[in-house]
Amino acid sequence: MPTDRVDVRKTYKLFIGGAFPRSESGRTYQVTSAAGGFLANAALASRKDVRDAVVAARAAVPKWAGATAYNRGQVLYRVAELLEGRREQFAAEVTAFGEDPSTVHDAIDRWVWYAGWADKFAQVHGGANPVAGPYFNLSSPEPTGVVGIVAPAEPALLGLVSVVAPAIVTGNTVVILASEPRPLPAVSLAEVLATSDLPGGVVNILTGRPAETAPWLASHQDVNALDLTGVADPELATSLEQAAAGNLKRVVRPAAGPAWTADPGTARMAAFVETKTVWHPKGG
């Protein structure tokens, strides 16, 4: 590769409702590498972008939650195939941020793992309840609805995949506040999702400063749950939890920084489902 080529510098946009709008604020910020070099301009999302993303996420709920579990699994597996195709791009991006490129493989493998859960989680998490009476009684998980996620700052791709996949595999739609210092894998993931079969609005990605946007997400009355995994500042976390109490959002805030390569178990999927129990008499 000739080193004297003048590169095409990129200004990335947000991902809302399957489209790539600029921030309504028109703001951007510079993303730099671990070494401090310029990597790209990213959109600096605003309160109104959060609002638009929630609208898009809510609109996407009926179709995505209503899709068959098999179909959701197929769509997510197809995403994994696309990720695999862009493996090197992701590796370059995380490497630029000083991360181990092997986390890209872990991320893709994790996506595949969650994709397989689509048509199994209800069987493991739900079930027939042997009530003391002539009733059919069945509990099944249903998606909570719209989940707001503050993605971990790093690992940029593995952390992101680890919070997004378990939320959407059960039928939720998400609004993600991407890693502020390392947003490029999130932007690339958006490009992957846009060309996949995932319906627009299921995943919405906002780059920028979570400290500025997260409070709007936490207090939004049409958001059902909040994942604060990426919030490192305890004061911010507390204020977000307080705001989330307004409409009794389900809040996930892991106690310690998770070991990202460990087996994640089913807890993250379980955190964003509602258990619905249906009774019906058994009679002739």
Partner 1 sequence: MPGFDYAPAPESRSIVDIKPSYGLFVSGEFVDPVDGTAFKTISPATEEVLAEVATAGPSDVDRAVQAARSAYASVWGTMSGRDRAKYLYRIARIVQERARELAVLESLDNGKPIRESRDVDVPLVAAHFFYYAGWADKLAHAGFGPAPQPIGVAGQVIPWNFPLLMLAWKIAPALACGNTVVLKPAETTPLTALVFAEICQQADLPPGVVNIVTGAGETGAALVNHPAIDKVAFTGSTEVGRLIAKAVAGTRKRVTLELGGKAANIVFEDAPIDQAVEGIVNGIFFNQGHVCCAGSRLLVQESVADQVLESLKRRMTQLRVGDPLDKNTDIGAINSAEQLDRIRRLSEIGSSEGAERWSAPCELPDRGFWFAPTIFTGVTQAHRIAREEIFGPVLSVLTFRTPAEAVEKANNTPYGLSAGVWTEKGSRILAMADRLRAGVVWANTFNKFDPSSPFGGYKESGYGREGGRHGLEAYLAY
Partner 2 sequence: MPPLLPATQRLPAVAAQDHDKITQVAARVDFTAMTASVIADLSEVARSATALRAFLHGLPGVDQVGAEQRAAMLATRSIKTTAKAYAIDLAIRMVDLTTLEGADTAGKVRALCAKAQRPDPADPSCPAVAAVCVYPAMVPTAVSALHGSGVHVASVATAFPSGQATLDVKIADTRAAVAAGADEIDMVINRGAFLSGHYLQVYEEIRAVRAACGAAHLKVILETGELATYDNVRRASWLAMLAGADFIKTSTGKVQPAATMPVTLVMLEAVRDFRDTTGRQVGVKPAGGIRTTKDAVRYLVLVNETAGEDWLDPHWFRFGASTLLNDLLMQRTKLTTGYYAGPDYFTVD
Query: Which of 43, 252 has the CB closer to partner 1?
Result: 252
Residue 129 interacts with, from partner 1, partner 2, none (CB under 5-8 Å by kind): partner 1
Task: Kindly indicate which of the ranges 70-78, 103-111, 175-183, 230-238 contains the residues binding partner 1, using the contact rule CB under 8 A.
Answer: 230-238
Query: Which of 23, 173 has the CB closer to partner 1?
Result: 173
Q: What binding mask, one character per residue, do residues 106-135 give for partner 1 by CB under 8 A, x or -?
A: ------------------xx-x-xxxxx-x
Residues 6+ apart with CB under 8 A from 217: 50, 54, 148, 150, 175, 177, 223, 226
Q: Is 78 in the site for partner 1 (CB under 8 A)?
A: no
Q: At what angle do helices 87-96 and 69-85 cross, to 10 degrees?
A: 70
Q: Binding-site residue total for partner 1 (CB under 8 A)?
A: 40
Residue 4 interacts with, from partner 1, partner 2, none (CB under 5-8 Å by kind): none
CA pair distance 155, 88, nearest whole angstrom: 16
- The CB-of-133 to partner 2 minimum distance in angstroms stands at 8
Q: What binding mask, one character per residue, do residues 162-181 give for partner 1 by CB under 8 A, x or -?
A: --------------------
Query: Which of 141, 208 has the CB closer to partner 1?
Result: 141
Residue 267 interacts with, from partner 2, partner 1, none (CB under 5-8 Å by kind): partner 1
In this structure, the number of other CB atoms found within 10 A of the CB of residue 201 comes to 25
CA pair distance 41, 141, nearest whole angstrom: 40
Q: Please, are residues 178 and 151 in contact by the beta-carbon 8 Å criterion?
A: yes
- The CB-of-171 to partner 1 minimum distance in angstroms stands at 12
Q: At what angle do helices 47-66 and 210-219 cross, to 10 degrees?
A: 50
Query: Which of 66, 181 has the CB closer to partner 1?
Result: 66
Q: In 3D, which of 71, 67, 68, 225 has the Cα closest to residue 144?
A: 225
Residues in contact with partner 2 by CB under 8 A are: 133-135, 281-284
Query: Which of 80, 252 has the CB closer to partner 1?
Result: 252
Local structure of 79: helix, strand or coil: helix
Q: Which two tokens stand for residue 64?
A: 């995505």
Q: Please, are residues 99 and 261 in contact by the beta-carbon 8 Å criterion?
A: no
- Residues numbered 44 to 73 that lie near partner 1 (CB under 8 A) are none
- The CB-of-282 to partner 2 minimum distance in angstroms stands at 7
CA pair distance 107, 162, nearest whole angstrom: 7
Q: Is 274 in the site for partner 1 (CB under 8 A)?
A: yes
User: Looking at the chain, which runs of residues are DSSP E strands?
Assistant: 28-32, 38-43, 127-128, 135-143, 146-150, 173-177, 203-206, 225-227, 250-252, 273-281
Which stretches of the chain bind partner 1, using CB under 8 A? 124-125, 127, 129-133, 135, 137, 139, 144, 224, 234-235, 237-239, 241-242, 244-248, 250, 253, 255, 265-267, 270, 274-281
